[in-house]
Amino acid sequence: MVSARPAVQQLPAYRPGRNPADLAREIGVDRAVKLASNEVAFPPLPAVVEALAAAAPETNRYPDNGAVVLTRALAEHYGVDPGQIATGCGAVMLCQQLAQSFNEPGTSIAFAWRSFEMYPLLAQVAGARAIQVPLTPGRSGGPADTHDLDALAAAIDDTTRLVFVCNPNNPTGTAVRRPELERFLDAVPAGTLVVLDEAYREFVTDPEVPDGLEVMRGRPNVAVLRTFSKAWGLAGLRVGYLIAEDPAVAEAVRKTYVPFSVSTLAQAAAVAALASEEEVRSRVAAVVAERGRLTAALRERGFDVADSQANFVWLPVGEQTAELAAALEARAIITRPFAGEGIRVTVGTPEEDDALLAALDAVRAAAPVP
């Protein structure tokens, strides 16, 4: 009998956000609202639609394996050399490429917890040890929701090849500020690569939260990871990118790239999206404004919601998580629960968020939630 590696057999299956059409049919309603996957609610940018139509006739050919046009556009956009960039099939694939490039059995990957749920799985697949450092309260009396960078630095040992700092953090939405981040980066050994996972960077409004590319400068063991899936609205096309201060880091990541995995359509769409930055900024501003409205409404209902720097908010409801998420789903609202800890809620349209708030009110009326 053929068997997979024990580490692979033990991997939990990744759970994507539930399909709203399936839920609507199941509970007998016209429409369900999905606030689980941190997608933007806007349709694709007009320039993206045009670029997809123009590229479609070329899809009988393999895509440009080096993503030369996209890489050049990114280099110009951020003022870096093309050799510092690696593209991939979404940021999560680049995370896997990083683990493949720098880890092996006997090494370790360090990260805060809870954070992006793929980090421990990447360590497991690579045969590396996962060093999980608990979050700390970001404000006095609040729940544990923020990176403890001093503890993370102390946890790094001579086996640690890779450190992920998710900033803003998924799923809590909190972010670390410049002094703490710079102090941490200066404390990390030169042989350990720190990856600033900035999937939600575009939604940051706190001026004290630095752009990772700024703190990367002059630090050859730092790289920044970003995606077109969130603010840029290309979640269905899967394209992300890594920018490294040391070109050798980007070169190593490119060597573990699955050939042709960033499609022709994805490359064309990403280039078009970059050229539509002003429209993206306008959309982000609308999301940020709605994030503020939703946060205030949730606080009025007694939820201890931190100031989010992403396009989602975190409800730290602890042991009530599963019960509340199920009650919301029964009312056609799909969220992302993390058992025993809290619920991540994507910022949707005003209408979608109003539906969430109405569902919360109905749940509370039926059985009050602390």
Q: Give pTM, 2 decimals.
A: 0.95
Q: What is the pLDDT of residue 17?
A: 73
Q: Given the structure tokens 């045969």, which residue do they identify?
A: 127
Query: Given 243, 276, 309, which residue is the final one in a domain?
Result: 276
For residues 308 and 349, state if they share a domain.
yes
For residues 104 and 229, state if they share a domain.
yes
The kind and range of the H/E element at 123 are: helix 118-126
Q: What is the pLDDT of residues 240-264, one digit of tens each?
A: 999 999 999 999 999 999 999 999 9
Q: What is the pLDDT of residues 85-138, one digit of tens each?
A: 999 999 999 999 999 999 999 999 999 999 999 999 999 999 999 999 999 999
For residues 191 and 72, state if they share a domain.
yes
Contacts of 57 (CB under 8 A, 6+ apart): none
Domain of residue 318, CATH code: 3.90.1150.10
Query: Given 233, 256, 276, which residue is the final one in a domain?
Result: 276
pLDDT at 14 > cutoff 90: no
Q: Which residues of 216-251 are buried (b: 16+ CB within 10 A; e: fewer)?
A: beebebbbbbbbbbbbbbbbebbbbbbbbbbbebbe
Question: Per the structure block, which two tokens stand in for 181?
Answer: 């981040």
For residues 182 and 320, state if they share a domain.
no
Domain containing 77 equals 46-276
Query: What is the number of structural domains in the chain?
Result: 2
Tell me which residue of 208, 118, 212 sits closest to 171, measured CA to CA.
118
User: Pairing state of beta strands 240-244 and 222-227?
Assistant: antiparallel
Q: How far apart are CA 349 and CA 45, in angstroms?
A: 17
Q: How far apart are CA 28 and CA 37, in angstroms?
A: 23
Is 185 among the domain residues? Answer: yes
Q: How far apart are CA 34 and CA 345, in angstroms?
A: 9
Q: What is the pLDDT of residue 33?
A: 97
Q: How far apart are CA 333 and CA 325, in angstroms?
A: 8
Q: What is the pLDDT of residues 29-65, one digit of tens each?
A: 999 999 999 999 999 999 999 999 999 999 999 999 9
Count helices and strands (H / E) in the chain: 14, 14
Tell me which residue of 366, 360, 277, 364 sits closest to 313, measured CA to CA.
360
For residues 95 and 241, state if they share a domain.
yes
Domain of residue 170, CATH code: 3.40.640.10
Q: What is the pLDDT of residue 299?
A: 98
Q: What is the pLDDT of residues 158-173, one digit of tens each?
A: 999 999 999 999 999 9
Strands annotated E in the chain: 33-34, 85-88, 108-113, 129-134, 136-137, 144-146, 160-166, 193-197, 222-227, 240-244, 312-315, 333-334, 336-338, 342-346
C-beta separation of 155 from 110 below 8 A: yes
Query: Given 276, 308, 324, which residue is the final one in a domain?
Result: 276
For residues 172 and 308, state if they share a domain.
no
Q: What is the pLDDT of residue 244?
A: 98
For residues 216 and 203, state if they share a domain.
yes
Q: What is the pLDDT of residues 265-321, one digit of tens each?
A: 999 999 999 999 999 999 999 999 999 999 999 999 999 999 999 999 999 999 999
Residue 13: DSSP 8-state: P
Provide mean pLDDT across the span 6-27: 84
For residues 176 and 106, state if they share a domain.
yes
For residues 254 and 282, state if they share a domain.
no
Q: What is the pLDDT of residues 194-234, one digit of tens each?
A: 999 999 999 999 999 999 999 999 999 999 999 999 999 99
For residues 112 and 183, state if they share a domain.
yes
Is 361 among the domain residues? Answer: yes
For residues 53 and 132, state if they share a domain.
yes
Q: Identify the three-state secondary structure at position 305.
A: coil
C-beta separation of 314 from 308 below 8 A: yes
Is 370 among the domain residues? Answer: no
Is 324 among the domain residues? Answer: yes
Q: How far apart are CA 229 and CA 275, in angstroms?
A: 16
Q: How far apart are CA 200 and CA 315, in angstroms?
A: 18
For residues 219 and 120, state if they share a domain.
yes
- The crossing angle, in degrees rounded to 10, of helices 91-102 and 247-255 is 100
Q: How far apart are CA 271 and CA 48, in angstroms?
A: 8
Provide mean pLDDT across the span 354-358: 98
Q: What is the pLDDT of residue 368?
A: 55
User: Pairing state of beta strands 193-197 and 108-113?
Assistant: unpaired
